[in-house]
């Protein structure tokens, strides 16, 4: 790290001490934190037992800093004298500290808390825990953030529900009737079911808001941090660890933490897809992109920071998955950390420990050093809002009790086809603008609250575009609803898809197993198919359709028929907007192209979606011509940062297009080489022809004309 990094950090710190109202610090470098652990190459601790000298401690910190890390985790789990030296030396080098205080809220996944969150004594019990847990922080001068909540919170199941007097009184105050005695008693009553599940899920944030206030009262100088679960709170709860569909991060909100860190480890272990897609997790990056989009929906809405736990090649977590293939993927930490930042993360933390393999360590360091070349300006350049968003149907998730996670495959396919895609949670559909989006995609959505459906209908009529593979025709209480049938110009559309269950755990040191799989799982080999062989929107189509969804066309225009005669693609124009409807389940059909190793069909699907968006007249701000090479843009009104990341594409060539930024592009610089990058301007876009080999990630600085001569 440059010497000015240390000086700037210390100036920021001294300034913060002087202001009347203390605030968490904002460093002028990218916060990347690791644990004090053995390094596989270079100077420093190599894992030997016994006490470590100051020389070894100093060399280890220098090695860590030299690999692009700007922070250290505490407690360090070293003897007290060593920990004191580690933190003071790290502080002298301008490094920040991330601290784990433990769970202050006092409740768990599998049991209600001893003191109810609706009791007047709850805040008092939290304060007692917080004062004790936060006391050691007074000795940490360069504290950045503190983890104050239980790790990966979610309701495991009904066993976490309390039935004391405070809970009963709170339920009656909110809903006007007595708390049902259990889930089974109201399972066939959609209104009571929705009330009860919402109430039980709200238990956590109702407690966290009290914790947040107490913590800020005690010490407002750090970012209060919560780690969100890798799958249960993103639509994968039902029949997984949480047993029932109940929790999601956006519905919980973001007014009880400053920094939300989430983790998913698709390379080191498994990524919690259901059924056969768990055994063939292609594309590997899909669930990461899908989950990150939900985290952005949360953090951007509340103005909070987003972070990411980066899985590392270390046996502390992943020893059971070690194999030659995993060792050979020495670029995986670099790829995942760059992807996280490209998707909006402003903070990285290794989980857990430094990689034990030298190639992993050096590649990881190369990526982090590249990030640090931004000088912290990434923190002021958010992920650019996509022109397209995909709806997360929370009410459907609760009412139908079906997983909504494998749909990440559909998310990924559209992302690759259009170039950019966000999640819009149904709670965020509060008017007809859909937060300024131009395209809304609905994948596997059968049920929506009527007010949400009304807003979507008006969005289309006022010029918006909706693309779907299913038409929602039930309201929040599972009653018939025709609002969107009228928009799409069809009726009675099926919502069938393959029911999948269980998570495949690909152990390497023991036999792989199915986890969370019922005794009599659904037979995933039995499903309906059809063939879409037609020309539509100037494109020739010829691929197998899985899980066709028959419907009756009323006012829509048939653009393509399947062999059965059922609609393959229809279009409906509603006043100044457009609605496009696929006649089949996109996630099932897309996954089948991976099962069949049919790259031609896969490209036809991607091209079809791309053509639909072109037909609708919407162009993305960023687009990659190579589906296996990600292009993502972070930008503000002054500058942008373009990430181009190879997700195992064997063909390194890619053309990236940029358009509609807040400034006119005048210069593009490769931050790795500090050399300008040639580009062309055509059709209102800037075009860059690049080559990004496997294991590589490019980071380009995009500048306006007024800065192009510097």
| Mean pLDDT of all residues in 267-278 | 92
Model confidence band, residue 27 (pLDDT cutoffs 50, 70, 90)? confident
Q: What is the pLDDT of residue 16?
A: 37
Find the largest Cα–Cα distance for the chain.
79
Read off the pLDDT of each residue in 163-179 and give the average, rounded to a whole number.
97
In the prediction, which pLDDT does 497 show?
A: 97
**Residue 665 is inside which H or E element, if any?**
strand 665-670
Residue 264: per-residue pLDDT:
78
3-class state of residue 608 by DSSP: helix
Residue holding tokens 């940029």?
658
pLDDT band at residue 674 using 50, 70 and 90 as cut-offs: very high
Residue 229 in this model has a pLDDT that exceeds 70:
yes
Determine which of 10-14, 45-49, 269-273, 603-607 has the lowest per-residue pLDDT on average. 10-14
Any domain includes 668? yes
Owner of token pair 């949360």: 298
Task: Give 377-403 as a DSSP string.
Answer: GGGGSPBPPPSEEEEE-HHHHHHH---
Asked if pLDDT for residue 313 goes beyond 60, the answer is yes
pLDDT of residue 708: 41
Nearest residue to 590 via CA among 405, 418, 466, 411: 411
Task: Please check the confidence at residue 707 and state whether its pLDDT lies above 90.
Answer: no
Judged against a pLDDT cut of 70, whether residue 627 lies above it is answered with: yes
The dihedral region occupied by 99, where left means phi > 0, alpha psi between -120 and 50, and beta the remainder, is: beta
Q: In the structure, what pLDDT confidence band is assigned to residue 232 with cuts at 50, 70 and 90? A: very high
Q: What is the 3-state secondary structure (H, E, C) of 516-541?
A: CCCCCCCCCCCCCEEEEEEEECCEEE
- Measured in degrees and rounded to the nearest 5, phi and psi for residue 219 equal -155, 105
Domain assignment present for 626: yes
Residue 550 shares a structural domain with residue 402: yes
Whether residue 229 contacts residue 262, with contact meaning beta carbons closer than 8 Å, is answered with: yes
CA-to-CA dists, residue 648 to 89, 128, 322, 585, 699, angstroms: 39, 50, 19, 27, 17
- Within this chain, do residues 571 and 627 fall inside the same structural domain, yes or no? no
- Indicate the SS3 state at residue 88: helix
- Regarding whether 607 and 559 lie in a shared domain, the answer is yes
> Does one domain contain both 645 and 505?
no
526 and 407 within one domain: yes
Does a structural domain hold residue 274?
no
Other Cβ atoms closer than 10 A to 691: 13
Identify the residue whose tokens are 């919560």: 226
pLDDT digits (tens, 9 = 90+) for 185-226: 999 999 999 999 999 999 999 999 999 999 999 999 999 999
What's the domain count of the chain? Answer: 2
**Do 397 and 524 sit in the same domain of this protein?**
yes
How would residue 265 be classed by pLDDT, with cut points 50, 70 and 90?
A: confident
CA distances from 601 to 178, 411, 471, 540 (A): 54, 17, 24, 11
Residues 603 and 638 in one domain: no
pLDDT for the residue 710? 42
664 touches 704 (CB < 8 A): yes
Q: How many Cβ atoms sit within 10 Å of the Cβ of residue 382?
A: 16
- CATH of residue 592's domain is 3.40.50.880
**Domain end call among 564, 589, 615:** 615
Q: Which of 592, 615, 638 is the last residue of a domain?
A: 615
**Domain end position, chosen among 591, 615, 639:** 615
Q: Is residue 578 part of a domain?
A: yes
Contact 247, 201 (CB under 8 A): yes
Q: Which residue matches tokens 């007692």?
A: 128
What is the layout of strands, in order, in the sheet containing 567-574?
422-425, 388-392, 439-442, 465-468, 577-582, 567-574, 557-561
Alpha-carbon 282 to chain mean position: 17
Strand ranges inside 117-208, DSSP E: 143-147
Would you put residue 444 in left (φ > 0), alpha (ψ -120 to 50) or beta? left
Per-residue pLDDT tens for 483-510? 999 999 999 999 999 999 999 999 999 9
Q: What is the pLDDT of residue 23?
A: 64
> C-alpha distances in angstroms, 457 versus 390, 392, 464, 493, 559?
15, 17, 9, 17, 21
* Bridge-based pairing state of the strands 675-676 and 680-682: unpaired
Predicted pLDDT at 535: 95
Mean pLDDT of the chain: 94
Residue 515 lies in a domain: yes
Burial class of residue 625 (count of CB atoms within 10 Å of its CB; 0-12, 13-18, 19+)? middle
Domain containing residue 689: CATH number: 2.60.40.1180
What are the CA-CA distances from residue 238 to residues 193, 248, 547 (Å)? 15, 12, 22
**Is residue 443 one of the residues assigned to a domain?**
yes
Is the peptide bond prior to 422 cis by the omega test (within 30 degrees of 0)?
Answer: no
Q: How confident is the model at residue 26 (pLDDT cuts 50, 70, 90)?
A: confident
Tell me: pLDDT of 373 over 80.
yes
Per-residue pLDDT at 24: 66
Half-sphere exposure of 524 (CA within 13 A, CB side): 16
Task: Please calculate the CA angle 194-199-205 and round it to the nearest 5 degrees.
Answer: 130
Task: Give the Cα separation of 395 and 476 in Å (integer).
Answer: 6
Domain enclosing residue 463, as ranges: 388-615
Q: Does residue 44 carry a pLDDT above 90?
A: yes
Please state whether 381 falls in left (phi above 0), alpha (psi between -120 and 50) or beta: beta
627 and 490 in one domain?
no
Clarify whether residues 409 and 440 are in a common domain: yes
Kindly state the tokens that stand for 472. Answer: 């929602």
Do 583 and 650 lie in a common domain?
Answer: no
Q: How far apart are CA 150 and CA 174, in angstroms?
A: 27
In a domain, 147, yes or no: no
Cβ proximity of 591 and 604 under 8 Å: no
Alpha-helical regions (H) of 135-179: 165-175
Q: Tell me the whole-structure pTM to 2 decimals.
A: 0.95
Tens of pLDDT, residue by residue over 108-159, are 899 999 999 999 999 999 999 999 999 999 889 899 999 999 999 999 999 9
Q: Mean pLDDT over residues 270-280, rounded?
A: 96
Tokens at residue 428, please?
Answer: 């965020």
User: How many residues are given for the chain?
Assistant: 710
Has residue 324 been placed in a domain? Answer: no
User: In the prediction, which pLDDT does 120 show?
Assistant: 95
Q: Do 547 and 444 fall into the same domain? A: yes
DSSP structural state of residue 235: I
- Given this model, what pLDDT does residue 267 score? 78
Residue 589 shares a structural domain with residue 640? no
């Amino acid at each position: 790290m440059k010497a000015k990094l240390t000086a700037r950090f210390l100036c920021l710190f001294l300034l913060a001490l002087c202001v009347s109202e203390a605030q968490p610090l904002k460093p002028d470098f990218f916060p990347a934190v690791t644990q004090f652990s053995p390094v596989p190459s270079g100077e420093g601790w190599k894992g030997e037992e016994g006490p470590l000298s100051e020389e070894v401690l100093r060399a280890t910190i220098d090695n860590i800093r030299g690999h692009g890390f700007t922070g250290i985790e505490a407690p360090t789990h070293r003897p007290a004298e060593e920990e004191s030296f580690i933190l003071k030396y790290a502080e002298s080098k301008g490094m920040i500290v991330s601290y784990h205080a433990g769970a202050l809220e006092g409740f768990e996944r599998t049991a209600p808390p001893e003191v109810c969150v609706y009791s007047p004594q709850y805040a008092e019990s939290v304060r007692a825990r917080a004062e004790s847990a936060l006391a050691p922080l007074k000795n940490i001068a360069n504290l950045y953030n503190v983890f104050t909540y239980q790790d990966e919170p979610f309701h495991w199941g009904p066993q976490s529900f309390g039935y004391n007097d405070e809970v009963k009184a709170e339920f009656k105050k909110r809903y006007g009737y007595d708390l049902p005695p259990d889930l089974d008693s109201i399972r066939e009553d959609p209104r009571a079911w929705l009330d009860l599940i919402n109430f039980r899920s709200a238990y956590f944030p109702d407690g966290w808001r009290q914790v947040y206030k107490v913590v800020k009262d005690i010490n407002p100088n750090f970012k209060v941090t919560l780690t969100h679960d890798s799958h249960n709170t993103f639509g994968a709860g039902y029949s997984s660890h949480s047993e029932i569909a109940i929790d999601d991060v956006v519905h919980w909100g973001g007014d009880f933490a400053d920094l939300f860190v989430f983790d998913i480890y698709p390379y080191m272990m498994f990524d919690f897809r259901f059924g056969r897609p768990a055994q063939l997790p292609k594309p590997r990056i899909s669930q990461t992109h899908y989950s990150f989009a939900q985290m952005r929906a949360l953090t951007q809405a509340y103005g909070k920071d987003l972070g990411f736990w980066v899985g590392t090649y270390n046996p502390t977590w992943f020893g059971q998955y070690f194999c030659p293939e995993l060792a050979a993927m020495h670029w995986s930490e670099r790829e995942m950390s760059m992807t996280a930042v490209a998707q909006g993360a402003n903070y990285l933390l290794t989980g857990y420990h430094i990689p034990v393999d030298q190639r992993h360590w050096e590649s990881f360091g190369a990526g982090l050093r590249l990030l640090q070349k931004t000088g912290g300006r990434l923190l002021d350049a958010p992920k650019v809002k996509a022109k397209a968003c995909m709806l997360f149907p929370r009410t459907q998730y609760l009412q139908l009790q079906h997983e909504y996670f494998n749909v990440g495959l559909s998310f990924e396919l559209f992302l690759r086809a259009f170039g950019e895609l966000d999640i819009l949670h149904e709670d965020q559909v509060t008017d007809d603008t859909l937060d300024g989006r131009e395209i809304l995609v609905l994948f596997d959505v059968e049920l929506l609250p009527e007010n949400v459906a009304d807003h979507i209908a008006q969005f289309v009529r006022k010029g918006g575009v909706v693309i779907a593979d299913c038409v929602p025709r039930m309201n929040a209480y599972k009653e018939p609803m025709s609002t969107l049938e009228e928009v799409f110009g069809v009726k009675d559309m099926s919502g069938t898809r393959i029911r999948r269950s269980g998570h495949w755990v690909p152990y390497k040191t023991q036999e792989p197993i199915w986890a969370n799989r019922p005794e009599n799982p659904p037979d995933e080999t039995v499903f309906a198919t059809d063939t879409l062989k037609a020309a539509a929107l100037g494109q020739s189509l010829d691929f197998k359709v899985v899980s066709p969804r028959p419907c009756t066309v009323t006012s829509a225009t048939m653009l393509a028929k399947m062999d059965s005669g059922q609609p393959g693609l229809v279009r409906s124009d509603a006043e100044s907007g457009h609605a496009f409807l696929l006649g089949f389940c996109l996630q099932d059909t897309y996954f089948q192209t991976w099962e069949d190793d049919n790259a031609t069909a896969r490209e036809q699907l991607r091209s079809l979606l791309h053509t639909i968006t072109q037909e609708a007249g919407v162009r993305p701000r960023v687009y990659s011509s190579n589906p296996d090479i990600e292009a993502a843009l972070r930008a503000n009104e002054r500058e942008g940062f373009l990430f181009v990341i190879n997700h195992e594409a064997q063909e390194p060539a890619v053309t990236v297009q940029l358009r509609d930024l807040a400034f006119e592009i005048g210069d593009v610089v490769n931050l790795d080489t500090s050399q300008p990058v040639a580009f062309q301007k055509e059709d209102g876009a800037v075009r860059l022809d690049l080559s990004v080999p496997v294991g590589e990630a490019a980071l380009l600085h995009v500048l306006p004309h007024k800065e192009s001569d510097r």
